[in-house]
Amino acid sequence: MKRPITIICFIILIGILWLVGCQQPEVTSAKMAYKQSDYDKAIQQCQTALEKDPTNADAYFILGQAYGKKGMFKEMNESFSKSLENKPTYAQQIEQHRTKYWIDIFNSGVNYIKQDNMQEAVNKFKLAIEIMPDKINSYKNLAYAYTQLEQNDKAIETYLKAAEIDPSDMDIRNSIGVLYYQTEQYEKAVEALQVVIDNTDPISEAYTDALYNMAYAYDLMGESEKAIGAYKTALADNPNDKDLIFNMGRLFYMQDKYDQAIETFEQVLQIDPNDFEANINIGNAYVTMAEKMYSDATATDDRGNLLLPEAESAQKQQEAIAIFHKSIPKLEKSTQLKPDNANAWQLLGVAYVRVGEIEKGQEAFDKAEQLGAE
């Protein structure tokens, strides 16, 4: 009964000897060196082994591990890829190695962003991309770091690479559009933002943001009607979105279309009567209109004579004063909503003085000066 046991043991021993005998001595030496953290020697031994057998997947795998420990991630990836080309044995371990390094480097980059050290963040995210080029978050964070360094061209280039990896990510497309807008590449901005508009839910924030930025891009291209059209399109799907309404009102104001601006800001107040920006913008629009009318009505030539007939001048002054009166309730509301806003007090002071309430006007000007009106 003892002989079969002896024979079995012998066969197992022969098997072990055969396995060891088939492994190149350089690979065995590389393994030992790697375990002893002598990565340079491990690399040298693997390279020697590969000179003898360029298809040795074991050598490539150990070589990749050693390169990884030395932070040579490009070489690590090349070695791992060669290992997989020759034998899939280490596929799982290779994925684990890459993922571990990627997580460590990526998190390090995030920490540098939190520390406001954007250049180091850039370095880390570039390394993360080198380790795992298909991880889209590396590109997003790298692009963000570039924007903080005001390297917008590099940010755009990085976002475009991310868009190639995931064309369906509309946040990336929106970021590309915004960066094109900020770098005054308005036609490209419109093109990028149109992709977002065509592929996002009309009630989503990405949709409204894209339309908002597209509207401004159109406006700066001198295509104001297209800009207004973009807002109207957004409002058709979101009629009660006060931010959209407000932005359209602001666009009217920028185009000196004060009546339309006031009408649009009033729509904001129907939704939220306590919206400070809408109140002060209506007041400001009234004051701007009235000041221009008053200035035209009282304009004189070089000798100090009125340019308009006296009766017409007086009528226009009264019309201007009536508009100043309209501004006062909105500006008073503004100072109630934000008592520390110097500009609101300054505008209110102008309106008071123009309607003849000099004492109130002086009080408002004093308050504005205390708060540091511009």
Q: Which two tokens stand for residue 8?
A: 């079995």
Q: Which two tokens stand for residue 4?
A: 């079969």
Q: Taking Cα atoms as reference points, which of 249, 197, 186, 258 lies closest to residue 222?
A: 186
User: What distances in angstroms separate CA 40 from CA 16, 33, 55, 232, 261, one per listed residue?
Assistant: 29, 8, 21, 66, 71
Can you give the pLDDT at residue 17?
A: 32
Cα separation, 292 vs 276, in Å, equals 24
Can you give the pLDDT at residue 233?
A: 84
Per-residue pLDDT of the chain (374 residues; tens, 9 = 90+): 343 433 333 333 333 333 344 567 888 888 998 899 999 998 999 999 899 999 999 899 998 899 889 988 889 889 888 998 998 888 998 889 889 989 999 999 999 999 999 999 999 999 999 899 999 999 999 999 999 999 999 999 999 999 999 999 999 999 999 999 999 999 999 999 999 999 998 888 888 888 888 988 898 888 888 888 888 888 887 888 888 899 889 888 988 999 999 999 999 999 999 999 999 999 999 999 999 999 999 998 888 888 889 899 999 999 999 999 999 999 999 999 999 999 999 999 999 999 999 999 999 999 999 998 55
Cα separation, 360 vs 331, in Å, equals 13
Cα separation, 260 vs 232, in Å, equals 13
Side chain identity at residue 49, one-letter code:
A
By the 8 A CB rule, do 285 and 269 touch? no
Q: Where are the domains of the chain?
A: 284-299+309-374
By the 8 A CB rule, do 306 and 300 touch? yes
For the four alpha carbons of 6, 12, 16 and 21, in that order, the dihedral sign comes to positive
CATH number 4.10.1240.10 is the correct assignment for the domain at 284-299+309-374:
no
Beta-carbon contacts of 27 under 8 Å, excluding residues fewer than 6 positions away, are: 45, 46, 49, 56, 58, 59, 62
Can you give the pLDDT at residue 292?
A: 93
Can you give the pLDDT at residue 374?
A: 52
Helix axes 242-254, 224-237, angle to 10 degrees: 170
Tell me the chain's radius of gyration from C-alpha atoms.
Answer: 35
Can you give the pLDDT at residue 4?
A: 40
Beta-carbon contacts of 267 under 8 Å, excluding residues fewer than 6 positions away, are: 245, 249
Can you give the pLDDT at residue 205?
A: 83
Helix axes 170-182, 152-165, angle to 10 degrees: 160
Can you give the pLDDT at residue 10?
A: 33
Classify each residue of 117-154 as buried b or exposed e, where b means 16 or more C-beta atoms within 10 Å of its C-beta: ebeebbbbbebbbbbbeebbebbbbbbbbbbeeebbeb
Can you give the pLDDT at residue 68?
A: 86
